[in-house]
Amino acid sequence: MTPDPWASAATIARDVRARTLSATAVVAAALHSIAARNPALNAFTDVVLARAQARAAALDRGAAPRGPLAGVPFAVKNLFDVAGLVTRAGSRINRDNPPAARDATLVARLEQAGAVLVGALNMGEYAYDFTGQNVHDGASRNPHDRAHMTGGSSGGSAAAVAGGMVPLALASDTNGSIRVPASLCGLFGLKPTFGRLSRAGTFPFVASLDHVGPLARSTEDLALAYDAMAGHDPADPACQDRAAEPAVPALARGAAGLRIAVLGGYFQRGAAAEALAAVTTCVDALGVAATVELPEAARARGAAFVITATEAAALHHDRLRRRAQDFDPDVRDRLLAGALIPAPYVVQAQRFRRWYREQVLRVFADVDVLLAPATPCVAPRIGQATFVLDGAEMPVRPNLGVFTQPLSFIGLPVVAVPLPGPHLPIGVQVIAAPWRETDALRVAATLEAAGVAQAMRPANS
Amino acid sequence: MTLDDAELDRMIATAGLQGLSVPAEWHAAVRANLRVTLTRAAEVAAFPLPDTTEPAPVFVA
């Protein structure tokens, strides 16, 4: 059997476990695809060829577990530690650090399930980005039209999966960095509940808001990866000690019994016609009749903005003092501004966060799943500085996350599902109550089974 | 909240108290980011909350 670079992780794992396909052949095909496609897409910053080949060979000779992700090639945003690689986190400054001594927890857990790491991926500097552009490594490029943004900050993760180089990638999401690139590149992305998946061995951005999760071309692949990665990790103080709630078995239940509503108000203002049309398509497919609003969603976004700027400034304070000239200027200037914000504003934003969480949890007393646009528009062109949002010309970089920020602000689990468009895809957020990832994944799987949500192969591939 | 450039520049001038340097050629961009962040911070601060509302991250001993 010849490996198909567009095969799903589930298909690859099934064939490798059945020994109708060797892990060595799968990994060789992935490495070939990376060599052929990456020069145009600029997704990978590192390829761990020898490690991947050795791991695949171990799988084939039975020296490594052929688990639920047997032989599945994957790659990680370059803020995940990979033993032997410098964790650059999209920066120039971190390249002066020594290589990581060990893998991040989630890298290790995916490999324990049989997956094979093939490399590390481009990202916006220190994850402070929604565009997928990087002043040091160049922009990652949207596989559906290379003149357009991938979205960020997990731009390389999205380009690698949407471009047919790997079926699975890991990313991080502080304010939308999984969901924005999923939307712009036409992928499924899971941002789990805050505290669900371990961040140990990842370079931080905003400790109060950082999440990690997978990008894939199907709901089943998201669920497979999620199940392999879930579980308490004392190395991440935010990671909660909860019983496993496997997602794969839940997918077959579909959306039956789930109360679904669409988010109105804030989440419908300013979105372009294609973003609203994508939500309407999902609403129609699911037979949704209810509309609900989240109170003070705009203020929630503002509070997320303040916490992000100030916590990130604190994290990078010493680097700003010593090496300010080595930052991406767009990142540096936001961090410097964050360093000047008075402390009472930061504490008030965290107090507001608790109030907002309580209000949103009340909404979930009457509904299980909410739908909202993932991005206000399809992918802007690379280098585009502004776009029109709610009738006003606004900078692209901080505003692509206008619909994602009020949700990650309180750690809700969200699956971004892709809807094809005439030129470029766009995503819809499927949002569940805290710790109910399975509800969001069930709805995503239902939309996928109905042919509404699809990760389309790029026309030029 | 209305913030004029002079007020923002006075805030930027305090960066040195933290050991941060903001050369003149960076001022315009830092000022623009400061204006946006302060505006949003003021909107959040204007929201009335009970004195008993804890900040979201509560340390567990």
CA distance A372 to A255: 17
Is residue B2 scored above 90 in pLDDT?
no
Contact of A75 with A63, CB cutoff 8 Å: no
Q: Which of A321, A349, A357 sits opposite B44 (nearest CB)?
A: A349
The count of other CB atoms within 10 Å of the CB of residue A105 is 23
Average pLDDT (B48-60) is 90
- Local confidence band at B29 (pLDDT 50, 70, 90 cut-offs): very high
pLDDT in tens, A312-343: 999 999 999 999 999 999 999 999 999 999 99
Is residue B1 scored above 80 in pLDDT?
no
- Local confidence band at B3 (pLDDT 50, 70, 90 cut-offs): confident
Q: What are the tokens at A89?
A: 């986190």
Task: Return mean pLDDT, chain A.
Answer: 97
A76: nearest Cα among A112, A38, A116, A41: A116
In the stretch 12-31 of chain B, residues with CB closer than 8 A to chain A read 12, 14-15, 18-22, 26, 29-30
Average pLDDT (A379-404) is 92
Is residue B60 scored above 80 in pLDDT?
no
pLDDT in tens, A164-197: 999 999 999 999 999 999 999 999 999 999 999 9
- For residue A399, the chain B residues in CB contact (below 8 A) are none
Q: What is the ipTM of this complex?
A: 0.96
pLDDT in tens, A45-90: 999 999 999 999 999 999 988 999 999 999 999 999 999 999 999 9
C-alpha dihedral sign at A319, B25, A148, A441: positive
Which position among A8, A22, A177, A218 bears the catalytic label? A177
Is residue A266 scored above 80 in pLDDT?
yes
CA angle A55, A60, A64 (to 5 degrees): 55
> Residue B14's domain spans which residues?
1-61
Total tally of structural domains belonging to chain B: 1
Q: What share of chain A in percent tops pLDDT 70?
A: 100
Contact of A132 with A158, CB cutoff 8 Å: yes
Task: Report phi then psi at A372, rounded to 5.
Answer: -160, 160
Q: Is A309 on the interface with B (CB under 8 A)?
A: yes
Q: Is A392 on the interface with B (CB under 8 A)?
A: no
Average pLDDT (A83-106) is 98
The answer for residues whose C-beta is within 8 angstroms of residue A318's C-beta and 6 or more apart is none
Is residue B59 scored above 80 in pLDDT?
no
Residue of A nearest to B26 (CA): A333
CA dihedral angle for residue A43, residue A49, residue A55, residue A56, rounded to 10 degrees: 80
What was the pLDDT predicted at A191? 98
Find which of A307, A310, A336 to mutate to test the B interface (most B CBs within 10 Å of its CB): A336
**Range A9-449 has CATH code 3.90.1300.10:** yes
Find which of B25, B44, B58 to mutate to test the A interface (most A CBs within 10 Å of its CB): B44
> Phi-psi region for residue A297, left (φ > 0), alpha (ψ -120 to 50) or beta?
alpha
